[in-house]
Structure 1
Amino acid sequence: MTIETNRVPQLELNNGVRIPQFGLGVFQIPPEETAAAVREALEAGYRHIDTAQMYRNEEGVGEGIRDSGVPREEIFVTTKLANDAQGHDNAINAMEGSLQRLGLDYVDLYLIHWPLPGQDKYVGTWHGFEELLRAGKARAIGVSNFQVAHLERLAAESATVPAVNQIELHPALQQPELRAYHEAHGIVTEAWSPLAQGEVLEDPLLAELAEKHGKTPAQIVLRWHVQIGNVVFPKSSSPKRMRENIDIFDFSLSDGDLDALSGLDEGRRTGFDPDTFEG
């Protein structure tokens, strides 16, 4: 099964660049398996690949893209700055390294991976990102794991609003206040750990909705992400699971379904707290 790529919605970022709302995350995919995973995803209809310098598999992403036969301009590629490369000059140099490893002339989206507030470098880093945007090395720039206070500081000390903020977000951590800030300021919400590492899939409500719609619990959660406006990119190296994950565009959750799912929010993280994490 291959999903027609035009069935995946695209969202318009605040600088006019369009981003596919569904993609493949390659976090924790071993470097030696990454090229094959990317090829499989592109064959299955994915057109959005999310990687990071810290994942150490950018080479595999680039190889998979080249081997796929899909034109570069049809693929949305994101990478993220390594935590030890923060700072204006470091961020610019790190991008050059990413482009070399990916074998690309530009990325579609470059993100600050973590704010690391104790280091107090993210504003200078962002100014470096602005230079990369002007130079065409990135078509859009954004952040990851930023809280409202971090975003407000960028707004006060720079001229560019992040195109996206990639945050931990799943039914057990729905982050309504941060999502509302994003919506008010033209920032697209991207969700990492969209299935809470599988923890939420055992909830009886998801089993009930899966039976109702003839889908799996994971497909219910991924469809929920899309319907509430998140960009989502579940990680998988299994061709079968990749095809299952993206097969969510032939049904819709009702308003009642969405209301019920909103009741699963516990404010529970599976990852680090951005206010205290220092890499």
Structure 2
Amino acid sequence: MSTTMILSETYTLPNGVEIPKIGLGTWMIEDDKVADTVKAAVELGYRHIDTAQAYQNERGVGEGVRSAGIPREELFVTSKLDAGIKSFGEAKAAIDASLETMGLNYIDLMIIHSPQPWQNFGDEDRFFEGNLAAWKALEEAYDRGRLKAIGVSNFQKEDLQNLIDNASVKPMLNQILAHIANTPFDLIDFIRTNDMVAEAYSPVGHGEILKRRDIQSMSKKYGVSVPQLAIRYLLQLGLLPLPKTANPDHMKMNSEVAFQITDEDMETLKNVEKIQDYGEHSVFPVYGGKI
């Protein structure tokens, strides 16, 4: 199977929209450099680009999408509503701002970045009312055709249940931290049971699993890199990995995952010792042990 074939394979969201099985993450890629990153990825066959208001690079991503040299409808663009926005009016204005900043007529997928503002991440208050208000703005933009699909990120079971029970449009996708040595199987099962797609950001654990000898050993068995093993692992679990890189060589390697991990080795990978400490990256809420 060729690289291009894998990059063109899709999952289907509950509303029938198809989303490519591998996406390119753009966190920490600067706004003035990300357009070239997007164009390089598209040239390699990527069709799914992931950004966020918090990344402060939506303008550059939009530029890359518009100048990539292929029809807009062949690309799938995701952005995320800032985690601090928990009111209808703010969310509505922010969605319109993303469309304007990116210079796009529509965004393929817009998601709430976190159920809680980052400074409250992991606290007891789940901001149920605020999430419903922000979600209503997403629903409205979806109804207008400005968003082709809507979802969430970093939502736990209770956060998802709040929307499932109270929203007009059910969430279609949940983007979560998931990788070898930290795979939230119960949450993934809940996502699937409720007909959502599970997206996995940080497929290499923000670099931490590159240091693990047990995982290095497994990758050598297959003659692949640790990132390739990590991406294949997620695909075989039915997840949608979002490897992040601005390096075209790494982009290419990350898409060369046509090999198959045996069932026995998948079980081993599911049960490797969990990462407890993300080192310097623990300053970010999602790596700080609060989820």
Q: What TM-score do you get using the length of structure 1 for normalisation?
A: 0.93
Residues 181 and 269 in structure 2, CA contact (< 8 A), matched pair in contact too: no
Measure the CA separation in 2 of the matches of 1:123 and 1:106.
22
Provide the residue aligned with 2:193 in structure 1.
184
Q: Does 1:246 align with 2:255?
A: yes
TM-fit CA distance, 1:209:
2.2
Task: Give the 3 Å change call, closer, same or farther, for CA 215–267 of structure 1 in structure 2.
Answer: closer
Measure the CA separation in 2 of the matches of 1:182 and 1:71.
32
| Matching residue's letter, 2:45 | G
Q: Does 1:58 align with 2:67?
A: no
Structure 1 range deviating more: 205-214 or 179-188: 205-214
Measure the CA separation in 2 of the matches of 1:162 and 1:54.
21
Instruction: Name stretches of at least 5 consecutive residues in structure 2 with no aligned partner.
Output: 117-124, 279-283
| Matching residue's letter, 2:169 | T
Deviations 1:143-175, CA, capped at 9 Å, x for gaps: 000000111111121122211001111112100
Deviations 1:80-130, CA, capped at 9 Å, x for gaps: 001233311211111111111111111110000011145541111111111
User: In the TM superposition, what are the counterparts of 1:56-205 in structure 2 within 5 Å?
Assistant: 56-116=56-116, 117=125, 119=127, 120-205=129-214
| Matching residue's letter, 1:256 | E
Equivalent residues, number: 275
Match of 1:237 among 233, 246, 252: 246
Give secondary structure in 2 for the equivalent of 1:232.
strand
| Matching residue's letter, 2:253 | E
Residues 174 and 265 in structure 1, CA contact (< 8 A), matched pair in contact too: no
Task: Give the 3 Å change call, closer, same or farther, for CA 57–262 of structure 1 in structure 2.
Answer: same
Provide the residue aligned with 2:122 in structure 1.
none
Task: Give the 3 Å change call, closer, same or farther, for CA 89–108 of structure 1 in structure 2.
Answer: same
Task: Give the 3 Å change call, closer, same or farther, for CA 7–137 of structure 1 in structure 2.
Answer: closer
Provide the residue aligned with 1:217 in structure 2.
226
Root-mean-square deviation (Å): 2.0
Residues 168 and 269 in structure 1, CA contact (< 8 A), matched pair in contact too: no
Give secondary structure in 1 for the equivalent of 2:78.
strand
| Matching residue's letter, 2:168 | A
Task: Give the 3 Å change call, closer, same or farther, for CA 51–69 of structure 1 in structure 2.
Answer: same
Measure the CA separation in 2 of the matches of 1:145 and 1:231.
14
TM-fit CA distance, 1:7:
5.1
Residues 7 and 46 in structure 2, CA contact (< 8 A), matched pair in contact too: no
Structure 1 range deviating more: 97-106 or 203-212: 203-212
Deviations 1:153-210, CA, capped at 9 Å, x for gaps: 1112112221100111111210011001011100110111111111112222322222
Provide the residue aligned with 1:272 in structure 2.
285
Measure the CA separation in 2 of the matches of 1:203 and 1:8.
31
Deviations 1:19-56, CA, capped at 9 Å, x for gaps: 00101000000111101100110011100000001101
Instruction: Name stretches of at least 5 consecutive residues in structure 1 with no aligned partner.
Output: none
Measure the CA separation in 1 of the matches of 2:90 and 2:134.
8
Measure the CA separation in 1 of the matches of 2:266 and 2:170.
30
Measure the CA separation in 1 of the matches of 2:71 and 2:151.
24
Measure the CA separation in 2 of the matches of 1:243 and 1:211.
19
Q: What TM-score do you get using the length of structure 2 for normalisation?
A: 0.89
Match of 1:263 among 248, 262, 271: 271
Percent of aligned pairs sharing the same letter: 36
Provide the residue aligned with 1:43 in structure 2.
43
Measure the CA separation in 1 of the matches of 2:182 and 2:238.
15
TM-fit CA distance, 1:269:
6.9
Give secondary structure in 1 for the equivalent of 2:200.
strand
Residues 24 and 49 in structure 1, CA contact (< 8 A), matched pair in contact too: yes
Measure the CA separation in 1 of the matches of 2:162 and 2:172.
15
Residues 172 and 268 in structure 1, CA contact (< 8 A), matched pair in contact too: no
Deviations 1:190-243, CA, capped at 9 Å, x for gaps: 111111111112222322222221111110011101110111111101111111
| Matching residue's letter, 1:13 | L
